[in-house]
Structure 1
Amino acid sequence: MDVEEVDYEALPTTSVATNMLAGALAGITEHTVMYPLDSVKTRMQVLSPSPQAIYSGVMNALTRISTAEGSATLWRGVTSVIVGAGPAHALYFATYEQCKESFSSPNNEHNHIAHASAGACATIVSDGLMNPFDVIKQRMQVHGSTYRGVVECGLDLFRKEGLGAFYVSYPTTLMMTIPFQAIHFSTYEYFRKKLNPRGTYDPKTHIISGAMAGAAAAALTNPLDVAKTLLQTRGAVTDTKVRKASGLVEAFQLIYARNGLAGFTMGAKARVLSHMPATAICWTTYEFLKMFLSKQPGFATETTA
């Protein structure tokens, strides 16, 4: 059968195993391909950076980091993402598909609330698993990091700052990622239905819809991402007030006090440039694998008795 003839609207009912495996592979692909831009975003969001880590723009940051510290620095911490993103995204997509099916109307009409709610549920589950890995990743991304590996970084954080260091940003992460994913999923589903009303497998639709969804969600939630970065990297700076920040309100106050409203746009361009291709890649990979795996004997569509 030609892939263009696949009844793609039937795929949300594929097995949980299919959704989890496709989601895991898509998540790893998404986070690793655009990782250097994520490193730049983190550097640009640090509230009290060292003089050597103040950049005038995305290209300036990429050039200076590569020249002064080596191009490998842009990939520091990627192992943490690979280890965490697989299981986190497996839970993420499996939860999303199950919730979308439960929340959507029987006639499969586009429902912003259903898709946004499914995205929020998926986020709560996946972020609980991913947050510690994200903390380790950002500690390894900051300027001057001397950690040689994920285990070394994780053990050092636990020893010096305790278990709370891995979850101090979790409430802020949820406050960011729930609206992020609500915007992300509802935007993606809207453009997917508009660009491909027949519901057939169409890579171009997934690329465009994914890029639009990623750009919108990244831009609108950037202020919360700046606060999250502050909380996750607080132990890597010497600024006493930053090191003592313990929640979203304090983070917002510090950001505004130091940089005004402009502080909430720090790293926004790098974040959008990172998320647009990343989400396009993620959705394209996920939708392809879901289509492909659903046709394999070991991942057959589930049936009800």
Structure 2
Amino acid sequence: MKGQQRGLALISVLLVMSLLLLITGSLLRNHRLLLQGSGQHLQQLQLSQVSRAAESAALLRLQDALQAQAPAIDLSQNWDPGVMGDKAQIEVSVEDLAGRFNLNALLLPGQIDQVTLARWSRLLTSLDLPHRPLAQVGALRELSQVRLLPGIDGHWLRQLEPWVALLPVDAALNINTAPARLLRTLEGVDEGLAKALIQHRMTSPWPSAQAFTADPLLSGTGQSSHGLGVRSRWYRITVHVALGPSRQRLATDVEHDPKTGQLRILQRRLLPLTANEITP
């Protein structure tokens, strides 16, 4: 009888010890997860602080570059801070959004001019994208809103995203900053001519849209100056920060007021990272 009691007591002690070990293990595991979560939060906070500091530096640099009030905006102007940082690697780029196709020109209700429609069609063809009509819902401010339009899917919009912007409807395509793909949407401009135009503007940017259409390189193309320009008010600052194994990409859209010379922030957003950027 006494042996049975001792056996039951031993089993009870072992059960209590097992329970205590389980509770202790759970507490340690929760503590470890809490520490990991706190560490990740601090790391993200540090990334955000570095991104915002780099954004501020880029804003000052861009504002200084635009203070000169040059008659035309071109890629020879020193906007881009490039790579910065010591412990963190920081890459900063500045893009003229007027070098993209303005989608709002297609979204306002009313008849769309044939020149703009033809350039839009050529852009879709160059991207191997199906030609889908856009509902004329009025000017939009964020590209994600385009995804809500009838017949628009995520893949189509992702392929298009690097080449379009949502600007005021009267914004002209800046021929001094537009990439080759956008130059190829213009009348009579093929791949070879687009490369020649970019090579030419590296040393001799065009002072006006009229000077562009009169350029001998475009002789015989029937080039129209409609919707073309050489100035801009809209820019995108993209900051990519790498701090140890962590990465962050911040995009900030700004508008320049030519009267005051000040830059106004329109929106900030975190951009998704590609697969090779997620892992160090």
Q: TM-score scaled to structure 2, two decimals?
A: 0.25
User: Which structure carries more helix by proportion?
Assistant: 1
Q: TM-score scaled to structure 1, two decimals?
A: 0.24
* Structure with max Cα Rg: 2
User: Which structure carries more strand by proportion?
Assistant: 2
